[in-house]
């Protein structure tokens, strides 16, 4: 089966983002950008399914700025076969991304879409579910295990109370959680090879999709800062503070 993996270029998870003084957003100038960590897990899973002889082709798709080509190359260095960039400088919100992905799915006809459960920039946790809705496909979010099958897959989902096991009819959209796998590091030869893999670029208009935002950001501010408290000398002082100052125990 063909697998499609949507990926997003985001601020690297190690970066401490700063809010811009004018309140218009966060400062992304000269900040390290990387593939969204959940998407790396999604790519890794798809590539493992290919290595196991289950996936026939792994196609990675990104929507966003031209620099997302690098992110697609990274995914191809992990082992994806080819990339598609839907290029736009516009603000893309989850609904718009899901519509773009739906248009790509209509063209590519994959049997399985493996997405990250959330992007660590907007933390929205929506795109996979919205895509599944638009396609009318089954969905399984936050998965930590995937067992492939012909007409259905079996997945384990991480839920608030523990774990849930589902049989999911194909075609389906799944979104991955942290414990599904540990993504490999791309090796230098694979990075070189990835440069030669096909990468197609198109615009939202080529797909006939209206990607206009529905939400307007009025302002972005820093949350109230927590200041560091005190270092206590020993357990006795800690208990005293908790009992008599904070009065919480």
Ligand X SMILES: Cc1cc2nc3c(=O)[nH]c(=O)nc-3n(C[C@H](O)[C@H](O)[C@H](O)COP(=O)(O)OP(=O)(O)OC[C@H]3O[C@@H](n4cnc5c(N)ncnc54)[C@H](O)[C@@H]3O)c2cc1C
Which among 58-66, 74-82, 187-195, 212-220 is the span making contact with another protein, rule CB under 8 A? Answer: 212-220
Compare residues 78 and 155 and give the one whose CB is closer to another protein: 155
Closest CA relative to residue 39, chosen from 197, 169, 174, 145: 174
Lookup result for tokens 């792994």: 58
Residues numbered 96 to 155 that lie near ligand X (CB under 6 A) are 120
Give min distance, CB of 4 to another protein, in A: 17
- Asked if residue 177 binds another protein (CB under 8 A), the reply is yes
- Asked if residue 164 binds another protein (CB under 8 A), the reply is yes
For another protein, the binding residue among 56, 200, 203, 217 (CB under 8 A) is: 217
- Asked if residue 33 binds another protein (CB under 8 A), the reply is no
Q: Is 230 exposed, middle or buried (0-12, 13-18, 19+ CB in 10 A)?
A: exposed
Among ligand X, another protein, none, what binds residue 52 when CB lies within 5 to 8 Å by partner kind?
none
Between CA 43 and CA 6 the distance in angstroms is 9
Directed axis angle between helix 37-51 and helix 68-78, to 10°?
40
List, in sequence order, every residue forming a beta bridge with 119; answer none if it has no partner.
Answer: none
Q: Which helix (H) or strand (E) holds 135?
A: helix 127-135
Residues numbered 19 to 78 that lie near ligand X (CB under 6 A) are 37
- Asked if residue 13 binds ligand X (CB under 6 A), the reply is yes
Among ligand X, another protein, none, what binds residue 196 when CB lies within 5 to 8 Å by partner kind?
none
Compare residues 67 and 239 and give the one whose CB is closer to another protein: 239
Q: How far from 152 is each of 19, 140, 168, CA to CA, in Å? A: 45, 12, 5
Residues numbered 108 to 127 that lie near another protein (CB under 8 A) are 117-118, 120-127
- Asked if residue 228 binds another protein (CB under 8 A), the reply is yes
Q: Please answer whether residues 83 and 197 qualify as being in contact, where contact means their C-beta atoms are separated by less than 8 angstroms.
A: yes
Compare residues 171 and 183 and give the one whose CB is closer to ligand X: 183
- Asked if residue 133 binds another protein (CB under 8 A), the reply is yes
Compare residues 120 and 166 and give the one whose CB is closer to ligand X: 120
Between CA 168 and CA 32 the distance in angstroms is 37
Q: Which helix (H) or strand (E) holds 39?
A: helix 37-51
User: Would you mind telling me the total number of residues written for the chain in this entry?
Assistant: 249
Between CA 186 and CA 56 the distance in angstroms is 21
Give min distance, CB of 41 to another protein, in A: 11
For another protein, the binding residue among 97, 132, 146, 176 (CB under 8 A) is: 132
Q: How far from 176 is each of 4, 39, 136, 190, CA to CA, in Å? A: 13, 8, 19, 24
Residues numbered 181 to 210 that lie near another protein (CB under 8 A) are none
Give min distance, CB of 80 to another protein, in A: 23
- The site for ligand X (CB under 6 A) is made up of 13, 37, 120
């Amino acid at each position: 089966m063909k697998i499609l993996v949507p990926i997003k270029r985001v601020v690297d998870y190690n970066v401490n983002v700063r809010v811009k003084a004018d309140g218009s957003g966060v400062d992304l100038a000269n900040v390290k950008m990387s593939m969204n960590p959940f998407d790396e897990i999604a790519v890794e899973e798809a590539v493992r399914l290919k290595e196991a002889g289950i996936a026939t082709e792994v196609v990675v798709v990104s929507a966003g700025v031209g620099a997302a080509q690098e992110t697609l190359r990274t995914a191809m260095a992990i082992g994806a076969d080819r990339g598609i960039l839907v290029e736009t400088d516009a603000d893309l919100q989850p609904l718009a991304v899901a519509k773009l992905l739906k248009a790509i799915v209509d063209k590519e006809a994959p049997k399985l879409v493996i997405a990250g459960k959330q992007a660590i920039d907007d933390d929205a946790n929506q795109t996979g579910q919205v895509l599944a809705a638009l396609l009318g496909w089954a969905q399984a979010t936050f998965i930590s295990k995937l067992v492939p099958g012909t007409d259905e897959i079996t997945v384990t989902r991480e839920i608030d109370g523990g774990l849930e096991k589902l049989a999911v009819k194909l075609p389906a959209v799944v979104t991955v959680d942290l414990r599904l796998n540990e993504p490999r590091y791309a090796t230098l030869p694979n990075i070189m090879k990835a440069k030669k893999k096909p990468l197609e670029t198109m615009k939202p208009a080529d797909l006939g999709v209206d990607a206009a935002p529905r939400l307007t950001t009025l302002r972005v501010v820093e949350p109230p800062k927590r200041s560091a408290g005190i270092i206590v000398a020993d357990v006795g002082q800690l208990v005293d503070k908790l009992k008599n100052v904070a009065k919480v125990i």
